[in-house]
Amino acid sequence: MYRFLLTPRWIALHVVVLLVIPAFVLLGRWQFGRFEERSANSDRVTANLAAPPVPVESLAGPVAEEDDRYRAVTASGSYDAAQGLLVRRRPQEGRPGFYVLTPLVMADGRAVLVNRGWVKAGATADTPPEVPPPPTGQVNVTGRLRLSESEESSGIRDRQGLPAGQVLLINLDTIGKRLPYELLGGYVDLTGQQPDTDPAPEPVPAPDVGAGGGLNLAYGVQWWLFIGVAIGGWILLIRREAADQRAEGAQAEADEETAAPAG
């Protein structure tokens, strides 16, 4: 009855199903892995945002560690406004603009780069934005520790030939070569400072930690549900074909009996 399973059409279907099932397994496992990775990252960032601030130099020496991203930090020193930079292509709330970077020179002679906030772009691409100056003298800042950017981590392609005082990436190695003092290995998104200034750049919003990979979990479950759909559909097609063949056989026998001459 099930000899039809060995016909070329059905063998092709078996092959497709046997290829699809492991593919769905692997896709589901990949999504579950992404869920675990994003959940761990979300938990880490949430904990760092809620942690009490620590001196930035205790976390950002020559480099800043991945696990310390968005950790609340403090720093004291004086802004070197002459070495300030603008970071291009940094939209905020759907508006084009720049980040305002200013080195904060600390008592030990080193400096930490502070992202003082966002300013809107000028009227044209060639019009410099209006940038509020930083406070003068001794300043105490608090903020979120960030890591040096690269093309790979930011998705932004760097290029030369920008207007003076502008960059595309907050790459601390590249920026540090222009400065007369040593930069710490992480920079700070400003959240508060004393003394404050008015006007001032708009604060950079806190990171959106999201749902911790909830979509990846849903996609993983979905891929594994597809495994059941594939197997169930395969079995259903086999049973339907077998039922059709039984019905055809019964009809053929009935036709033969009807066509046979009466004895």
- Asked if pLDDT for residue 43 goes beyond 90, the answer is no
The DSSP code for 62 is: S
- Asked if pLDDT for residue 137 goes beyond 90, the answer is yes
- Asked if pLDDT for residue 262 goes beyond 60, the answer is no
- Report d(CA 103, CA 197) in Å as an integer: 17
Structure token digits, residue 222: 């979905």
Among 97, 136, 100, which residue's Cα sits nearest to residue 116? Answer: 100
Residue 78, SS3? strand
- Dihedral of alpha carbons 135, 140, 144, 145, sign: positive
pLDDT band at 213 (very low <50, low <70, confident <90, very high): low
Q: Which residues contact 149 (CB under 8 A, 6 or more apart)?
A: 156, 169, 170, 171
Structure token digits, residue 239: 């049973």
pTM of the model: 0.70
For tokens 């759909």, the residue is 229
- Dihedral of alpha carbons 68, 69, 72, 73, sign: positive
Residue 259, pLDDT score: 67
Percentage of the chain modeled with pLDDT above 70: 91
Residue 212, pLDDT score: 54
